[in-house]
Structure 1
Amino acid sequence: MKESVHEMAEQGPIVFCTGGGCTAKLGAGVLSRILEKLPRGEKDPDLLVGYDSRDDAAVYRITEDIALVQTVDFFPPMVDDPYTFGQIAAANALSDVYAMGGEVKTALNLVCFPESMDLNVLGEILRGGAEKVAEAGGTLAGGHSIADTGVKYGLSVTGLVDPHRLTANDTGRPGDKLLLTKALGVGLICTANRVGEAAPEQMEAAVRSMTTLNKTAAEIARRYEVHAATDVTGFSFLGHLHEMMGEKLSCVIDAHAVPVLPGAWEAADACLYTAAGQRNRNHTGPFVRFEKVPFPMEEILFDPQTSGGLLFAVAPQDAAALEAELQAAGLPAKIVGTIGEKQTPEITVTYE
């Protein structure tokens, strides 16, 4: 089976990997215009987080101490190896539960696959996803598949969270420190890789980042006073940061402190960015002021991430200790900014 999979992977740039991951998402601006027109219905007091909050997952209270976390995510391949793609897609879907402060319990496969393609490829995708669900401590409980013209894979995930320890994305407080747990740049590196401009070790580092679960970061963060959290995915670091501000806060980011994957700067400097990155700039750019930030760094901050890290709003007295513990666990976590009272512009990015 492995020979067949590798043969398909070698042919993949045309039929398998055409630029997927979270770069395939619809733009935030388009989604906002659509969602605001949907009928809301009667408000359910037990729906603690719904789609109207632009958060990472839905949260529904079952009892005073138990709430369900529900999320779904799937996309086309961004790498040529099916097994690796399965791992990345699963890690990305599972991440939303961690961003809400929850624990993964069950997952369902979501599969779109051409009937004409080698089914061994599908087997490898599902194997990669199943391994990540198991690593998360969850149970793979089934799924749904349809025949399609292209490959798409992901998960519907259910988790549990204590409603009193829920970390929504827009509940940060003035004075909180912003802490990012993974390096940025996977969109740029994957784009460079598709055109043969990424060194093998650069792509390997990006894959390691994308296949790393946010489980460890979330578990460590529970020991500290974290007021808000989100995972950084297709809307970019700045796009998800804009959602965290929730139109009631502002922040200052030190871009020099932001962890960046090797090769991302060079790819941005060579203009190897994505259409999704430019959509992110168009949507979020009006809320951002750059102060002496080099253009490649701007592009990195707008770069769509696939299976990106968690971005925490941490009480200032806990931030340094949380950063140190995350780094001791092998994560490239860094304090990258500070939240303040609402002002214009909403986000100021410096490069000190």
Structure 2
Amino acid sequence: MDTIRLTQLSHGGGCGCKIAPAVLADMLKSMPQMQCFPNLLVGTETADDAAVYRLNDEQALVATTDFFMPIVDDPFDFGCIAATNAISDIYAMGGKPILALAIVGMPVNTLPMEAIQKILAGGASVCASAGIPLAGGHSIDAPEPIYGLVALGLVHPDRVKRNSSARAGDVLILGKPLGIGVLGTAMKKGVLDADGYRQLIDTTTQLNTIGAELAAMDDVHALTDVTGFGLLGHLLELCRGADLGALVEANKLPLLAAAIGFAQQGIGPGAIARNLDSFGADVAFADDVPDWQRRLMADAQTSGGLLAAVAPEKADEVLALFHAQGFASAAVIGRMQPGEPVISVAQ
């Protein structure tokens, strides 16, 4: 097993495997709207993180699925990252996870059984940390390794945190540092040292449990998690859902220290270019924002941080809660503002 690198068995890795935003939008444009289901509180309309279905006056079911190919070579770490990433969508809606099912596609004639077992064990360990059972799933023989979860959770119908309900003047808080895709690419190239790898694992395996606490705060107006479309892609979804603009201050962004040098060298996943192409005229960079910062803002994050739009008078309280819950890098990165649904990036 020591001679097999998981990342060499797949053409992409982590949330960098996601279809580019513009291509996905074109694929989905003919999808029918679910207006005939009044209990469907959140569907596909605003590209939110999970579906939400009202069960009764006190409970709504949050349902999501997420899976991808390896972003790291260690099988156990891959399983942990994939499971953490999938469960994050429940927290991003303000929910608490209750159950998970595994999605497994493995090249069974190529990958040793021990490696497959470790991937499954990694996923199971994260479910245990989240306090939920991994209660089953489905598996296929696939040409590339694929792992992820179906995750289910519960939230009060009045506490659902959508990505479309930000308000003008809201402060934007990002819970985790950027640079995950850059570090994953550096690892695949064999240039990531042990400290950089530890930064990658520590970030991608940190559960966004704070989302369930943010659900109880009325002044947290909108919430999403930052994954394959990068910070700018997911912030654009907030802007379009609320019909507002946003300002991002590049010098305030939390960044993984090990990713900065690699980003300055141009190292990163192909998803960066695909994301930047998809943004088009909807993102305007100031002239003094260098290319490497632009790339980090478009970097495909795997199991990235929550992005919250918060009433300005409560921003300090929410930021303190992030820090108290172990999100030491959480920072205010900008604000929502009136105008067209575009993002302005200043230094």
TM-score by length of 1: 0.93
Confirm or deny: 8 A CA contact 2:92 2:225 kept in the other structure: yes
1:28 maps onto 2:31 in alignment: no
CA contact (8 A) 1:110 1:143 kept: yes
Name the amino acid aligned to 2:265: A
Aligned equivalents of 1:13 and 1:85: distance in 2? 9
Question: In the superposition, relative to structure 1, how do residues 48 and 41 fare at CA in structure 2: closer, same or farther (>3 Å)?
Answer: closer
Aligned mates of 2:163, 2:179 — CA distance in 1: 22
Residue 75 of structure 1 is aligned with which of 53, 56, 68? 68
Deviation of the 1:11 alpha carbon: 2.1
1:308 counterpart residue number:
304
- Give the partner amino acid of 2:247: V
Q: CA deviation at 1:222?
A: 3.7
Name the residue aligned to 2:247.
Answer: 252
Q: 1:1-352 counterparts in 2 under 5 A? A: 4=1, 7=2, 10-12=3-5, 15-16=8-9, 19-40=12-33, 43-116=36-109, 117-215=111-209, 217-224=210-217, 225-246=219-240, 248-291=243-286, 292-331=288-327, 332-343=329-340, 346-351=342-347
How many residues end up aligned between the 2 structures?
342
Question: Is the CA contact 1:220–1:326 (under 8 Å) kept in the aligned structure 2?
Answer: no
Moved more, 15-24 or 111-120: 15-24
- Once residues 207 and 19 of structure 1 are traced to their aligned partners in structure 2, the CA distance between those partners, rounded to angstroms, is 18
Whole-angstrom CA distance in 1 between matches of 2:296 and 2:211: 24
- For residue 168 of structure 1, what is the amino acid of its counterpart? R
Distance 1:18 1:36 in 2: 27
Q: Which amino acid aligns with 1:110?
A: I
Deviation at 1:28, TM superposition (A): 1.1
CA distance in structure 2 between the partners assigned to 1:146 and 1:130 by the alignment: 18
CA RMSD of aligned residues (A): 1.5
CA shift for structure 1 position 273: 2.1
Deviation at 1:340, TM superposition (A): 1.0
CA shift digits 1:241-292 (9 cap, x unpaired): 0001126101111111110001222111111122211111011142111122
Alignment-mate amino acid for residue 309 of structure 2? A
User: Residues of 2 paired with 1:341 and 1:14: CA distance?
Assistant: 43
CA distance in 2, matches of 1:243, 1:99: 14
1:198 Cα deviation after fit:
2.1
Deviation at 1:219, TM superposition (A): 3.9
After TM superposition, give the deviation of residue 220 of structure 1 in Å: 4.0
SS at structure 2 position matched to 1:153? strand
One-letter amino acid of the counterpart of residue 24, structure 2: L
TM-score, structure 2 normalization: 0.95
Cα displacement (A) at 1:115: 1.9
Q: Is contact 1:16-1:80 (8 Å) kept?
A: no
CA contact (8 A) 2:7 2:13 kept: no
Give unpaired runs (5+ residues) of structure 2.
none
Secondary structure, aligned partner of 1:286 = helix
Alignment partner of 2:49: what SS? coil
Letter in 2 for 1:343: E
Please report how far the alpha carbon of residue 223 of structure 1 lies from its aligned counterpart in structure 2 after TM superposition. Answer: 5.0
Shift in CA distance, 223/43, structure 1 to aligned 2, threshold 3 Å: closer
Of the structure 1 ranges 29-38 and 148-157, higher mean CA displacement relative to structure 2 is found in: 29-38
Give % identity. 40
Say whether the 8 Å CA contact 1:220–1:325 is kept in structure 2: no
- 3-state SS of the aligned residue for 1:51? coil
Residues 137-172 of structure 1: CA distance to partner in whole angstroms, max 9, x if unpaired? 212110000011111000001101111010000110
Report the alpha carbon displacement of residue 192 of structure 1 after superposing the two structures with TM: 1.2
Query: Given that residues 114 and 149 in structure 1 are in contact (C-alpha distance below 8 angstroms), is that contact kept between their aligned partners in structure 2?
Result: yes
Please report how far the alpha carbon of residue 199 of structure 1 lies from its aligned counterpart in structure 2 after TM superposition: 2.4
